[in-house]
Structure 1
Amino acid sequence: MAQSSMCYAVPPKKTGLPREVVQWLQTLDLSFHPRNVRRDFSSGYLVAQIFSHYYPRDFSLHSYDRGTSLSAKQRNWSQIERALEKQNLYLEEEAVDGTIHCKPRAAELLVQEIYTILTNRRISDVKGPESDFTDEEYQKLLPSLARSTASKAIKNNLTVTEIKAVPDISTNQKKAENILRRHLERKAAERTLNPGRFKVKPKRNQPAPKNVPPSQLDKRSNTCSPGGNTSKLWFSPTCSRASVSFKEIKVLQAAGLPLVNY
């Protein structure tokens, strides 16, 4: 099933806005109080409503769409950008883009940035906007077995709306490669920190014992033969101390031929 434009692609991390920001939003008498920050701010309508309290002439709410489709979001944010330019105000581009596509932590950071611009107050525990908003923090909260696979990581962090907004194969391929690279780096770090959880498996280019080329038999048998003597037989990858017994078998041959012992 195709992924909808609603913001349910990535499981939301249990986060919220700082208390002072929430209290500030409550004083603005918004049409509705945001409960899901990632979803409610994605369309840009609430952002336009916030700015309309400070710049009513530049933000006419009747010209903004309450819809949640990608086209509605793009129209709203385009109007917001033009209106802010008149006031010589600019929002972080990465945070805006992440908010449109419901990226983790993007909307939270954007609202805090708007709070700082309009109130001239700073929040001490706010981190600066990040260039890529992924679900890495959410994945860290999950047990190791419940974390995303490589394909799931790409699906979670590269939304359908993001692909539709910039339908360039090369650009989206680079985004997918970056997501995959970060995923593999996290997996490698997990193996380093918890080596006991991972079983060592032979590499694909490492031949199985039964398929070992004859040229390698002598090399392997040298390590197992007492005194370094070369043996033409190799029974296992590890040296076995168990003794091997041989039984003499007598085979009766056809009449007129001698008896042969094996």
Structure 2
Amino acid sequence: MSYEHAPIKTGLPREVVKWLHGLDLSFYPKNVRRDFSNGYLMAEIFSHYYPQDFSAHSYDRGTALSAKQRNWSQIERSLQKQKQNLHLIKEVIDGTIHCKPGAAELLVQEVYTVLTNRSIRNVQGPESDFTDREYQEFLPTVARSTASKAIKNNLTMTEIMAEPDISTNQRKAEVILHRHLEHQAAERVLYPGRFKVKPNLGQLAAKNLVSSSRGDECSDGPSSADTASKSCSSSTWRRAAVSYKEIKVHQPIRRSLVKY
């Protein structure tokens, strides 16, 4: 396949794309996240450098979770036989298996740097959380995921199948929900007008307190100045004295029912 037929956006740097084309793989990964998840293409890449330890015929092309886990386990065992003692980060492999955002891209770039002894600029670190956070930030506010959608996007079905423990998956969902709510609360503070946030009673009281204190400062100024009278007119109106009238109520005299 010629380089001109490569997809416009692959999520990989240009030099990595050219390197993949030079390996003459069985098919070019048009969708990096999907095509690298089962490990077959990664085994093909390693077979070009270590043909004795990696045989493409011993790997499954299936997309089932069991096939993915077998392929990646076999890749890890084959890498341990190398003199360089190559090893891949487990969190990145798990993210690639479950098609987590950015995991497969990071894995391919790491393999590229190891096999070619070349460096890549602006490579994300392994501490990435492999979520759709960056994608959500590019979207307008009305198009961003809700809390339930955030859990669905960042907790895949294969991830639940690989770890059937209910408590573990519940903790993962709680972490995703907590991160989503934190991000939403931060945006509400930064952009209150966008979310039409109304001030609460405490904020209104503080605002009125500031206004009244400014009115007190104005009342101390010279009363003959026109500017002072204009600036203080609103605060004086708020602080206008309220007169109270005392009302006397005459209670009727009750006759005693007790005779002396």
Instruction: With the length of structure 1 as denominator, give the TM-score of the two structures.
Output: 0.71
Query: Secondary structure of 1:196's partner?
Result: coil
Question: Aligned residue for 2:222?
Answer: none
Q: Which runs of 4+ in 1 moved over 6 A?
A: 223-226
Question: Aligned residue for 1:61?
Answer: 56
Query: Secondary structure of 2:193's partner?
Result: helix
Question: Aligned residue for 1:191?
Answer: 188
Question: In the alignment, is residue 91 of structure 1 matched against residue 91 of structure 2?
Answer: no
Q: Is the 2:101–2:132 contact (alpha carbons within 8 Å) kept by the matching residues of 1?
A: yes
Question: Aligned residue for 2:156?
Answer: 159
State how far apart, in whole Å, the 2-side matches of 1:198 and 1:224 are. 33
The alpha-carbon deviation at position 199 of structure 1 amounts to 3.3
The alpha-carbon deviation at position 15 of structure 1 amounts to 5.5
Question: Aligned residue for 2:170?
Answer: 173
Greater relative CO (CA pairs within 8 A, separation 6+):
1
Structure 2: unaligned runs, 5 residues or longer: 1-8, 201-237, 245-260
* Structure (1 or 2) with the greater helix fraction: 2
Question: In the alignment, is residue 117 of structure 1 matched against residue 128 of structure 2?
Answer: no
The alpha-carbon deviation at position 171 of structure 1 amounts to 1.1
Question: In the alignment, is residue 49 of structure 1 matched against residue 29 of structure 2?
Answer: no
AA partner of residue 18 (structure 1): P
Alpha-carbon deviations, 1:33-91, whole Å to 9, x = none? Answer: 11100011001000000000111111111110001111110010010010011111111
Match of 1:144 among 135, 141, 144: 141
Alignment root-mean-square deviation, CA: 2.2
State how far apart, in whole Å, the 2-side matches of 1:95 and 1:66 are. 20
State how far apart, in whole Å, the 2-side matches of 1:159 and 1:225 are. 64
Question: Aligned residue for 2:24?
Answer: 29
The alpha-carbon deviation at position 200 of structure 1 amounts to 4.0
Alpha-carbon deviations, 1:77-116, whole Å to 9, x = none? Answer: 0100100111111112111111100011110000000001
Match of 1:81 among 71, 76, 79: 76
State how far apart, in whole Å, the 2-side matches of 1:78 and 1:15 are. 26
Percent identity, aligned pairs only? 76
State how far apart, in whole Å, the 2-side matches of 1:146 and 1:228 are. 55
Between structure 1 and structure 2, the one with the greater Rg is 2
Instruction: With the length of structure 2 as denominator, give the TM-score of the two structures.
Output: 0.71
AA partner of residue 129 (structure 1): P
AA partner of residue 162 (structure 1): E
- What pairs with 1:4-15 in structure 2 (closer than 5 Å)? none
Q: Is the 2:10–2:31 contact (alpha carbons within 8 Å) kept by the matching residues of 1?
A: no
